[in-house]
Copies of this chain bind each other. A is one copy, B any other.
Amino acid sequence: MQTGDQELVKKINKSIVLQTIQASSPISRAQISKDSGLNKATVSGLVNELMEEQFVQEIGTGLSSGGRKPVMLYFNKKAGYAIGIDLGVNYILAVLTDLQGEVIEKIEEPLENTSLDVVLPMLKNVVQSLMDRKPFSAYGVVGIGIGVPGITDKNGRILFAPNLNWEQVNLKQELEENFQLPVVIENEAKAGAHGENIHGAGKSSRNFVYISMGIGIGTGIIINNQLYKGANGIAGEMGHFTIDANGKKCRCGNKGCWELYSSESALLEQAKSLPSLQEREISLDMLIQEAENGNTEVIPLFHRIGEYAGIGLTNVINTFNPEQIIIGNRLSKLQNWLINPIHHVLEQRLLPYYYQDLSITFSQFGIESCALGSAAFSVEAFFAENKVTVS
């Protein structure tokens, strides 16, 4: 049981100080004291510790406001680095970020074969390349985070990833042994949600749902600035809720799942039967091209996808009453065609109390949310080790 003692108090306050600096740097000790409510002396002491630990540095003096000039502090985001990877179904996107989540290096590789024998060596290569390119720093690379398109348990085991055709894969152990670094494995949508929460469109919301619209639909639920994982860590499979009780059979066992009507798969499937696209190679980018050229079959198709997105979102919103919905992953490219049908459906189907304070946003990072969120998981694990929490 977690009891209260001085250590806990210090951890709480040290976190407050560090977070204040991160959020408002450059900032003086005096200002931190005013913002946080902590005593000046307390702030001074904690700042000194953080400086010894290399997490905070003095940058010089600021402007006087009628007295002694303040010494400005900033968060030393270059004290260490993290690696974040989005293991997609047909690509690997890997980034090296600093402690603030800024991308320093980036590697993107296509994935033609998803068998573990192929993917694992590729992953190791990619990680090694990024490690080799890291700048010198106090703590070096502090961890590796990976977002995967499937459900994972609390120990980082991949239970089931249908689109990769994986079952029961212990990627975490494999990589930890190889690199001697802590590895975090999480579902791709959960990682994306976290990425948006820490660095992206969800920075100012405490309660939102991130909808990853890719090959399928995954979701990440942020409650009180924390990722909700559920009892076994597999909450958020809202792509598989029924929106048509007697609809098409889904691979998951259910019928009429949302993602059968509103996802990249659904889009490509439906595009196949458009007369104007017969005998052509169909891809997302190609459809976008067609729409931009004014193809009068593709545009209504996009609208229909948007309407079904709205129907699913109605469920999400009735369930969570979020401040915000963030739509990410590949279909966020369709933003311009989706946004109106979505709003139209929501206006029709939602009670006004749910709709009035709600904002529907598209991902700031497009496809990078997942890799950034994964890197952020590693950064947090590192800080937690150091008796500080950031988020």
A321: nearest chain-B partner, CB-CB: B230
Which residues of B have CB within 8 Å of A238? 315, 318-319
Is A322 in contact with chain B by the CB < 8 A criterion?
yes
Taking A160-B353, A232-B357 as known contacts, 10 extra A-B pairs with beta carbons closer than 8 A to each other, sorted by chain A number, are: A1-B37, A4-B9, A4-B11, A5-B9, A151-B351, A232-B321, A235-B319, A241-B319, A253-B348, A253-B350
Contact in complex: A236, B319 (CB < 8 Å): yes
Is A287 in contact with chain B by the CB < 8 A criterion?
no
Q: Which residues of A contact B (CB under 8 A)?
A: 1, 3-6, 8-13, 16, 35-38, 151, 159-160, 206-207, 223, 228-238, 240-246, 252-255, 261, 308, 311, 314-315, 318-323, 348-351, 353-354, 357
Nearest CB on B from A89, distance (A): 18
Contact in complex: A38, B3 (CB < 8 Å): yes
Which residues of B have CB within 8 Å of A207? 230-231
Contact in complex: A230, B12 (CB < 8 Å): no
Number of copies: 2
Q: What are 6 A-B residue pairs whose CB atoms fall within 8 Å in the complex?
A: A1-B37, A4-B10, A5-B9, A234-B353, A241-B315, A243-B245
A238 to B35, CA, bound (A): 40
A17: nearest chain-B partner, CB-CB: B3
Contact in complex: B160, A351 (CB < 8 Å): yes
> Given the known A-B contacts A232-B353, A320-B230, are A314 and B3 also in contact in the complex, defined by CB atoms under 8 Å?
no
Which residues of B have CB within 8 Å of A323? 231
> Given the known A-B contacts A9-B9, A350-B253, are A242 and B314 also in contact in the complex, defined by CB atoms under 8 Å?
yes
Contact in complex: B1, A254 (CB < 8 Å): no
Kindly list the 5 A-B residue pairs having the minimum CB-CB distance in the complex, ordered from nearest.
A230-B321, A4-B12, A4-B9, A241-B315, A235-B321
Name, among A206, A242, A246, A254, the residue most crowded by chain B CB atoms within 10 Å (CB to CB). Answer: A242
Contact of A245 among B5, B233, B308 (CB under 8 A): B308
Contact of A349 among B8, B253, B348, B351 (CB under 8 A): B253
A246 to B234, CA, bound (A): 29
A207 to B233, CA, bound (A): 11
Contact in complex: A315, B242 (CB < 8 Å): yes
Nearest CB on B from A283, distance (A): 27
Nearest CB on B from A40, distance (A): 13
Which residues of B have CB within 8 Å of A232? 321, 353-354, 357
Which residues of B have CB within 8 Å of A254? 314, 318, 349-350
> Given the known A-B contacts A241-B241, A315-B315, are A234 and B321 also in contact in the complex, defined by CB atoms under 8 Å?
yes
